[in-house]
Structure 1
Amino acid sequence: MEPENHTGIPEFYLLGLSENPEIQSVLFGLFLSLYLVTVFGNLLIILAIVSDPKLHTPMYLFLSNLSFSDICFTSTTVPKMLLGIQTQSKLITYAGCITQMYFFTVFGLLDNLLLTVMAYDRFVAICHPLHYTVLMNPKLCSQLLLLAWLISILGALPESLTALRLSFCAVVEIPHYFCELPEVLKLACSDTFINNVVLYIVTGIMGFFPLAGILFSYSQIVTSVLRISTVGGKYKAFSTCGSHLSVVSLFYGTCLGVYLSSIWTQASWAGVFASVLYTVVTPMMNPFIYSLRNRDMKRALNTLLCSVPSSS
């Protein structure tokens, strides 16, 4: 070990997606557009739900929290990347890198848990429709949301706190556009065994149990729907789950792509591309999925948008 190659406060550099100036300008315009669409799209969902009393139900309460989480999730990575391209600076401080990793994990876990809560809501609505208002009462909904937030905030701590024990070389170049924990661990100069164990445990627990809850909910939903005698009744029951199921498929599909690309291929850019889908494309698509597939949401959005000119 060479002590002169290490420092207590290393300098981190995010290499980004490309060093070509022409490509960087294209990337700036592309990611700025995607970010703005994500923020305004999810913000419209939140405003539509808040302004329409008919949408003050558990399903839309959870959806508004999911939209807020998506805004925060994208905001942990994209603004820093855009700032780096604009200022031609790749530097991110050690504290900034750790902070980015923490909040990225928080809102990633929160998205996961909110999708699980929404699956439970659909399970109660379809499998126990007569008891829905009793089971999904405001108190339980508030407790589920509080629990999701607490688990996300506390669940992200082990990975971030164990990262503080690592030592790095004086200059750390991260082949990514944000401080993704697996990429940072690869560049550590000290032993990362404990960090990898914590990473696998947290990822395993926070990935397996929510996904198992979603799969169980939908297995019960499918069983209940198949008992419905009329085709129209089956279609109506499934249509209430269509948007949520689409978002779940997109979320877990892109998450799976990130981890499979890191395991099965040594090409770092494959993992970066998968991360772009996971961190940018998925949060951007959620408002479109819910607004295009949901008549109540379409009506609320039309009312909200039509009321803007009249109020000016």
Structure 2
Amino acid sequence: MEVMSGSGSWWDSIVNAVTGTAALLDSLWDTLRATMIQRLTSLFGNPPTAVNYAEHRLRIDNYVLEGKKMVFLAHSQGNLFVNPAADYARGKSSAAAVKVVHVAPASPTLRGGHVLADLDLVINGLRAVGSVPPVTHSIPGYLLRPAGLNGQKDPLGHGLLEIYLNPALNVSSAVRGLVQAALNDVQAPPAQATSGFFTATVTWDGSGDVDTHVYEPGGAHVWYQQLTGQAGYLDHDNTVGFGPEHYYASCETSKLQVGTYAVKLANYNAADGRTATVQIASSKDGVLATRSAVMGGATRNTPTFQMFNVIVSKDPDTGEYKVDVQ
């Protein structure tokens, strides 16, 4: 990672030893820049996979269900993900509920405000293979550039911590300003489901009815015929296609149960061949795991796909609850 970012002790040693050898420094910079540009342009030809997008969209579905505001901050190649993510989120909710801030965007198209430094050699290099957004700010040359949040310097002028979040550079104030404006303007969509200690969110890639079944530690079976369990709730059921379905375990210690929650799926009807995806997330740690399965023939009320065992434990000394997945 040090080689790719052009930072770290190895680079500082070279600079200190050969500060008068401009040709050598230029050659090293060119090598680093060429490597970074090659990586970015390869993403243009081989964009993020369907699996990547499915994971992102499932998380967005969950946020929309739970009435969350969404502010996306994308840096460099992250902009190749954020545009389709923002378009999908706005289609599921509204433009008012989704804001985007682009930092050093490797994408020529934008969904919000952007910041780009004039000496960002990586993004400047992309101009040779296509258009990029205009420069917004100037930054000092490498030798006059202060170290970033990680204590390192980036000769390519591209690093998030070294350049764009570096409080000593004006681009950092610009990024903070765009983020603050987005936070001020974003509006929550109406909530259709509840956040919990952990959630299981299910989607599938077409019509048909995939059913979520959760077997709680205390023995309760939560599904469309029994939406309320002892520890949690199936508070969003979908019968027409695509999902999402949403189960959450209560944050109330009087209801939350220690033990294993088995999350299973059934093709209730007409979802033969559909790829169903389950994502487990906790209130403390965010997304814990995502897993998919291709549905077989309809089994009605009998779940045939064991997707996750979600294990809730409690520390006897601190009383703190923890979530793990298997």
**Relative CO higher for 1 or 2, CA cutoff 8 Å, sep ≥ 6?**
1
As a proportion of its length, which structure holds more helix? 1
The structure with the larger Rg is 2
Relative to its length, the structure with more strand (as a share) is: 2
The answer to whether the superposition gives a TM-score over 0.5 is: no
Q: Report the TM-score when normalising by structure 1.
A: 0.29
